[in-house]
């Protein structure tokens, strides 16, 4: 018989204070902590490939997830399609994701400065000097890595294809 998988999934969705304690425990065990962030509105192959590659860079993967209010400011009033609870649960269901934490700001710089992961990851559409939190992670002895994105995949392009098919 399986353990309560729904509870296991929900336990991955955490708060900043809880996550700081968890990271301290992971680091005391010698685990390498990786952090990435994003909106992850409609999870697609590009997201899953990117996140799997990020997870391969360490032992524990944390995702900073933009809140609904943050997404609206960044992407417009019609976004997100899926609310933050749904997006967090879907990300937490991925076996290689160890924690999901929501953040309200337009960038995760403050969150990253408080977590100080060993590795900060973003897509290769960013340069290191454009990555929020890179300066803080590097100053703490961590690494900043970029990952090449899978061409042709984005939540916006999926939404646009759906709109085109329904008009």
Sign of CA dihedral 14, 20, 21, 24: positive
Quick one: pLDDT at residue 151?
73
Q: Which of 126, 121, 83 lies closest to 102 in space, CA to CA?
A: 83
Angstrom distance (rounded) from CA 120 to CA 134: 7
CATH of 5-166, picked from 3.40.50.150, 3.30.565.10, 3.40.50.620, 3.40.50.720, is 3.40.50.620
Question: Which residues make Cβ contacts (< 8 Å) with residue 130, sequence separation at least 6?
Answer: none
Provide the residue-wise pLDDT of the chain in tens; the chain has 167 residues. Answer: 556 878 887 899 999 999 999 999 999 999 999 999 999 998 989 999 999 999 999 999 999 999 999 999 999 999 999 999 999 999 999 999 999 999 999 999 999 999 999 999 999 888 899 999 999 999 999 999 999 887 776 767 777 777 788 87
Residue boundaries of the structural domains of the chain: 5-166
Residue with tokens 């994105």: 149
Helix (H) or strand (E) holding 87: helix 84-92
Q: How far is CA 111 from CA 46, 90, 156, in A?
A: 24, 21, 26
Q: Which of 159, 151, 150 lies closest to 48 in space, CA to CA?
A: 150
Characterise 38 by phi-psi region: left (phi > 0), alpha (psi -120 to 50), beta (else): left
Quick one: pLDDT at residue 153?
66
Q: Kindly state the tokens that stand for 16.
A: 């900043």
- Tell me: cis bond preceding 155? Omega within 30 of 0 counts: no
């Amino acid at each position: 018989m399986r353990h309560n998988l729904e509870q296991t999934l929900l336990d991955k969705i955490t708060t900043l204070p809880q996550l700081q304690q968890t990271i301290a425990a992971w680091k005391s065990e010698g685990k390498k902590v990786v952090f990435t962030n994003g909106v992850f509105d409609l999870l697609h192959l590009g997201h899953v490939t990117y996140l799997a590659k990020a997870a391969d860079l360490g032992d524990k993967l944390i995702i900073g997830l933009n809140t609904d209010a943050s997404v609206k400011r960044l992407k417009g009033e019609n976004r997100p399609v899926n609310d933050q609870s749904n997006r967090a649960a879907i990300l937490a269901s991925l076996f290689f994701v160890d924690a999901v934490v929501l953040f309200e700001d337009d960038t995760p710089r403050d969150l990253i400065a408080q977590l100080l992961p060993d590795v900060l990851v973003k897509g290769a559409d960013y340069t290191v000097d454009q990555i929020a939190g890179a300066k803080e992670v590097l100053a703490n002895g961590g690494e900043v890595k970029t990952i090449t994105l899978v061409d042709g995949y984005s939540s916006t392009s999926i939404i646009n294809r759906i709109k085109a098919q329904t008009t």
